[in-house]
Amino acid sequence: MLPPAESTRMVYSKSKDALLPAQPPSSLRNAADSDSEEEPEAFFDCSDDLEEQPAPICRSLPVELLDLIFAQVGEDTKTLSACSLVSRAWGESARRKLFGCPLGVTDEESLRRVRNLLDSNRSLARSVRAVDLSNQQGRYRVSKLNEVFRRAAGVLRLTPNVTDITMLHVALSQLVRQKFFGTLRVLPIKDATFYSTGWSRTGSLNVAGEAPEIDALAHALVAWRSLKYLTLSGYVSYPQLLTSASPPVHAFPSYRLQGLRLVSCELQAPTLLWLLGSSGSSLRQLTLSATSGLDSEVLSHIFKLVGPTLEQLSLSLDRDDFTVPRPDMLDPTILAPLLNLKVIMLSTDQMFGDDVLAQLALLPRLESATLAFLTAFRHSSVDAFLANDLHTLDSLVLDTWDSMDIWNDSQRYHVAKLCTSKGIAFSLNGLTQEAIEDAWFGLDVGECWTVLEDQVWPTARCRWASDRSL
């Protein structure tokens, strides 16, 4: 940690709420500055004109100090205010390190300032790796959307090494859409996250569900051959990219994904297969959360396709998410092909029962299982699951929605003791092993005396009789 007397002195920007360190510690200043009684200002307000500010004092800071400073600043390094202020006051290595963090922008003025900064120093522009256009602060205005993404296209043209893009997908004019997605397609994107405007915080933006918007996204996905992680959220009007009665609307993606996350998306079997692209032998993580339009046959086919490589699976599906006719319950054997699965998270109302535990016991590499069901888990099913050879399992979390108090104290303690003996971290409806043990040993005297009579005293009497016979 930095010395508290010097490193924790902070200053606020007038136009942002970003909390920044005022200057480096005195122990790391230049020798020429040590005798000076005046402390030079290390940062300037980014809202003022750059030409009106005095020339900043640039210091070359060691990488070790930068790590400490960025740890102190924390999340504020992602704001434009921090980027503008710090990059003007510190040396080249500090600025490159800062611009290697996710570069977030809040509105069209933020984009203008950051473009001016990058345009004046191309080495900084080449250091940018991630750009966030997700409108986290909710400052996008409907009347300025085209201007925002027109300027965003200008920033992306200056940053050829961007590999991570996070954005709120909005409806744009044809000209701006062509400029923005045309620039986006040529970047070496490895991690892409798109949020549909239908699920934005503002709620007043037009949903990007029109065919031209989806076409632009689809063409970008086809162009990104180096894409490794893809997240789509809120595409409730997502159209079919493939149909059984027509040829593909778009070329088949050639990327080989390692992670695919689909949240609150309206999917059909051809669309999901199209999004997987050539990832059948490379996918490591799959998340399907509140995705409607699928059925049990599609899930079974997908699990067979990615089974040899999939390591993490997260399913948050209820009965209403499936197509009509909806299945009464999914067969747990659809998980059988997932032989390399290490982490599984299942959250459902009625699509799985506690008999899925028997199938999970057959997965040879399972390390963590989190199950959140509507109905309660039977003690016998959990006991039978723990009776298996679970040498790889490290964590078991069970949660039920209909009842917070399942099983009695003896049953909970029995399962917790089994997990402890096998080295498994256990949680039941939020109760940890320690809490279950505390509840067990906190029984009243009458119940404790019964336990002593039934378990402890018979053993003690046998040992006493054996000692007397010697």
Q: What is the DSSP string of 89-133?
A: HB-HHHHHHHHTS-EE--SHHHHHHHHHHHHH-HHHHHH--EEEE
- Which amino acid appears at position 363 of this protein? L
The reported pLDDT for the residue numbered 57 is 43
As a whole number of angstroms, the distance between CA 178 and CA 181 comes to 6
The amino acid at residue 308 is: P
Split at pLDDT 50, 70, 90, the class of 460 is low
Most confident listed range (18-22, 33-37, 461-465): 461-465
37 versus 148: the higher-pLDDT residue is 148
pLDDT in the model for residue 227: 97
Residue that wins the pLDDT comparison between 135 and 391:
391
Q: What percent of the chain has pLDDT over 70?
A: 66
More confident residue, 397 or 455: 397
Nearest-Å Rg of the Cα atoms of the chain is: 29
Is residue 151 pLDDT above 80, yes or no?
yes
pTM of the shown model: 0.73
Q: Give the pLDDT of residue 458.
A: 60
Average pLDDT, rounded, for the chain? 75
Nearest one of 441, 440, 372, 385 to 407, comparing CA atoms: 440
Please check the confidence at residue 163 and state whether its pLDDT lies above 80. yes
Q: How far apart are CA 346 and CA 354, in angstroms?
A: 11
**Mean local confidence (pLDDT), 111-126:** 83
Q: CB neighbours (10 Å) of residue 403?
A: 11
Taking alpha carbons only, the member of 291, 289, 149 closest to residue 216 is 149
Cα-Cα-Cα-Cα torsion 203, 204, 209, 213, nearest 10 degrees, comes to -120
Most confident of 129-143, 259-273, 336-350: 336-350
* Distance (Å) of CA 262 to CA 238, 241, 272, 383: 12, 15, 9, 34
Of residues 463 and 112, more confidence is placed in 112
292: β partners: 266
Judged against a pLDDT cut of 80, whether residue 358 lies above it is answered with yes
Flag whether pLDDT at 344 surpasses 50: yes
- Tell me the two tokens of residue 113: 């300032």
- For 204, residues 6+ apart whose C-beta sits below 8 A from its C-beta are 142
* Range in 198-212, 247-261, 284-298 with the lowest mean pLDDT: 198-212
**pLDDT per position as a tens digit, 317-336:** 888 888 867 777 889 999 99
Taking the C-alpha atoms of residue 231 and residue 404, their distance in angstroms, rounded to an integer, is 33
**Residue 382 confidence (pLDDT):** 94
Residues 6+ apart with CB under 8 A from 385: 357, 358, 360, 361
Query: Could you tell me which residue, 242 or 93, shows the higher pLDDT?
Result: 93
